[in-house]
Structure 1
Amino acid sequence: MALSGVTFDDERLAFDLGEVTGALGDSITVLPIVVALAALTPVSLPHALVFFGLFQVVWGLAYGLPLSVEPMKALAGLAVAGSLGYGEFVAAGLLAGGLLLVGGATGTLGRLQGYVSEPVVRGIQLAVALLLLRTGVELGVAEPGVAAGAALVAVAVAAAGYRRASALAVLGAGVGLALLGAGVPAPSLPAPSGFAMGSPTFSASALGGTAAQLAMTVGNAVVATALLCSDLFDRRVSPDRLSRSMGVTCLLSVPLGGIPMCHGSGGLAGKHAFGARTGGANVVLGGLYLLAALFAGVVAGFPMAVLGVLLAVVAVHLGRRGFDADRRWLVVGVGVVGVGWNVGAAFLLGVIADAAVRRIE
């Protein structure tokens, strides 16, 4: 079946229990970050959830795989931490989308990968994690009792053997408190509007954020995802095709109120671990996101102290992966420069330092 030039593979869709439980594997990382963006920035949660729902369905049908659709974590982390204004966040999402689309169309992703080593990518992840952790602590100290209760929820879930689900458990606790305080919001659909929350602001910070995000995207959402498609599903998906689909996603969603999105390898692995094997999981999850968009007003009452713990849990998950590389001194150096100065500058200095060391070796 074809739609708008995209070929859909009907033989790679299933809707059994594994696809339903597997759908949850992607939401573990998506929902905490999106709720944090909506609570701390002008991002519209209903708009964001609508586009997550739509593109889960589109790419699930197009690839016939439980491909992840998740936030661009570097940009989201910088926006949540206040290092990027909303206009800069939008601009960086458009820049990243355009570059990914062009890069995928011209076949340059493989060549670019050769210039960005894994320690540099992991260093950017560590910097974003540290920024999220700092913001989380600042939010948590305002209401230490509520934060302590949320932290106990996270620890209990992790101790029970569900470490990956600890952020989702904290999110559930925050939603429960919000519902107790304000009740169930009336369902409402977001109105379509071009740049509804603010126009893009192209600045040095937006460029730096774009560079940092592309460093993570090339390594984690393009190359690593292509390898996982082969390893887990015995399917060959080219990095350039993944790059093109991420570019299309950003360029269509960001102007209409969505946020920059990518195909993360972690979300794909999470869906597989929870039982997903086909694009049916994406169709299920897309429907759930669209349903959630109707009641997204609950975020208005989300406790900030619980949000602080949520950010801390996400930061720990992201930061732990930052050390899965050689040359940890470079990982730490990029991370420290990123959190102490500028993530874009940290990326450039990391690439230069890595090139110099490889030349010496």
Structure 2
Amino acid sequence: MAYSFRSRADSDLEFSASELAGALGDSVTVLPLLVALGATTSVSLPHVLVGFGVFQIVWGVYYGLPLSVEPMKALVGLAIVGALTYAELAAAGLLAGGVLLTVGRLGLVGRLQRVVGEPVIRGVQLAVALLLLEAAVDLSLGNLPVAAGGIAVVGLLALVGYRGASVLVVLGLGGIAAVATTGLPTPTIPELAVFPAGSPRVSAAALEGTVAQLGMTVGNAAIATALLCGDLYDRDISADALSRSMGVTCLAAIPLGGVPMCHGSGGLAGKYAFGARTGGANVLLGVGYLALALVAAGALLAAFPMAILGVLLVVVALELARAAFAPVDDLRALALVAGVGVVGLAGNIGVAFVLGTVAFWLLSRKS
């Protein structure tokens, strides 16, 4: 049975089994990243989940579409691997939010994309994927039997056609193991506070991360997502409108304990593939995140098996790497993607981004 009503965008919001399945499709990469972030930084996971819950609902109702609301993967990935503190992550998210809101209002998103170049953006994606893979290996080595069991579950479910659900199953098994250690947490409403996990701090690392993230966000979260809205849902939503909504999200959520968030073409495609057709999927997922925030206790998170977390990060890293290479069919572009990725892994993502942009400009002049 399905229920529906009209959204602000004059589109039906349906609540059905297919919308719920689509909602879960978007959480496959979001939840592992959030759990990893909560386990490796001083972030308040309940506050982060509240931010995701609220803005899933806000943008689902506003646009009337199952738009993805995801972590900004470059920034969150750098925080997980220790390249950014939470204070620097918060500062970078506020800077990115301000830029996205400004360029969206001025209609500059398309111009920024042409200056940076898609291969450079893909290279940043690859660099983050490689950093996450490195962190995943370190975590998995802490308990090889547990990691091997997690890999076996993911592999088995993938073979029988449930690759996306496998991540949720492994996450659930890790949660059960944590509950067995600590007991069921008492539901607690997150305290309303300004910067509950610490004040933001601007640094060279925060600035470098912001520049690298903006390259990814402009290409994937704004332009590619706007194209998919037309391809999958026959809706004309501009990249500049999506840029503005991402700017509002970051500027509103981060002071209340959230993390940098964006839209994403991968999440939108994942929701569609699992059956979501309206913003009702966002409302359902948002309610789920809000409910999860009530029991995301620190003790429960501390007891979560880190080796299982390593397995989940492997899945996220491989998906991000696949997305980086999938649309590249030119050898020079492929070399640029790989080069930016390797330099970002071996040295610094900000430096890799700048060098990649210069290389893209020189290659464009020669052609």
What TM bracket, shorter-length normalisation? over 0.9
Task: Give, in angstroms, the shift of residue 205 of structure 1.
Answer: 0.7
Task: Report SS of the residue matched to 1:115.
Answer: helix
Amino acid at match of 1:102: T
Task: Give, in angstroms, the shift of residue 320 of structure 1.
Answer: 1.6
Residue in 2 that maps onto 1:247: 247
Residue in 2 that maps onto 1:102: 102
Distance 1:354 1:166 in 2: 38
The range that moved more, 277-286 or 155-164, is 155-164
Q: Which runs of 5+ in 2 are unaligned?
A: 1-6
Task: Give, in angstroms, the shift of residue 314 of structure 1.
Answer: 0.9
The range that moved more, 136-145 or 123-132, is 136-145
Q: Map of 1:1-361 to 2, 5 A cutoff?
A: 8-297=8-297, 298-324=300-326, 325=328, 326=330, 327-361=333-367
Distance 2:208 2:139 in 1: 26
Q: Which runs of 5+ in 1 are unaligned?
A: 1-6
The range that moved more, 180-189 or 155-164, is 155-164
Label 1:165 to 1:211 Cα distance change in 2 as closer, same or farther (>3 A). Answer: farther
CA contact (8 A) 1:167 1:314 kept: no
Task: Give, in angstroms, the shift of residue 170 of structure 1.
Answer: 2.1
Task: Give, in angstroms, the shift of residue 162 of structure 1.
Answer: 2.3
Distance 2:256 2:230 in 1: 34
The range that moved more, 177-186 or 60-69, is 177-186
Task: Give, in angstroms, the shift of residue 165 of structure 1.
Answer: 3.2
Distance 1:167 1:115 in 2: 36
Task: Give, in angstroms, the shift of residue 11 of structure 1.
Answer: 3.5
Task: Give, in angstroms, the shift of residue 196 of structure 1.
Answer: 1.0
Amino acid at match of 1:353: A
Deviation per CA, 1:208-266: give whole Å up to 9, x if none: 10011111101110001000100011000011110000000000001110111001111
Deviation per CA, 1:296-355: give whole Å up to 9, x if none: 123231011111111112111111222121321111100011011110111111010011
Task: Report SS of the residue matched to 1:275.
Answer: coil
Task: Give, in angstroms, the shift of residue 102 of structure 1.
Answer: 0.3
Task: Report SS of the residue matched to 1:226.
Answer: helix
User: Considering only aligned residues, what root-mean-square deviation do their CA atoms show, in Å?
Assistant: 1.2
Residue in 1 that maps onto 2:4: none
Distance 1:157 1:84 in 2: 34
Task: Report SS of the residue matched to 2:115.
Answer: coil
Identical amino acids, percent of aligned pairs:
61
Distance 1:98 1:138 in 2: 35
Distance 1:137 1:347 in 2: 25
CA contact (8 A) 1:13 1:64 kept: yes
Task: Give, in angstroms, the shift of residue 10 of structure 1.
Answer: 4.8
How many residue pairs end up in the alignment? 355
Task: Give, in angstroms, the shift of residue 144 of structure 1.
Answer: 1.1
Residue in 2 that maps onto 1:4: none
Label 1:269 to 1:42 Cα distance change in 2 as closer, same or farther (>3 A). Answer: same
The range that moved more, 244-253 or 170-179, is 170-179
Q: Which runs of 4+ in 1 moved over 3 A?
A: none
Task: Report SS of the residue matched to 1:155.
Answer: helix
Task: Report SS of the residue matched to 1:14.
Answer: strand
Amino acid at match of 2:39: A
Task: Give, in angstroms, the shift of residue 121 of structure 1.
Answer: 1.1
Task: Give, in angstroms, the shift of residue 15 of structure 1.
Answer: 1.3
Amino acid at match of 1:330: L
CA contact (8 A) 1:10 1:61 kept: no
Amino acid at match of 1:94: L
Distance 1:322 1:224 in 2: 13
Amino acid at match of 2:357: V
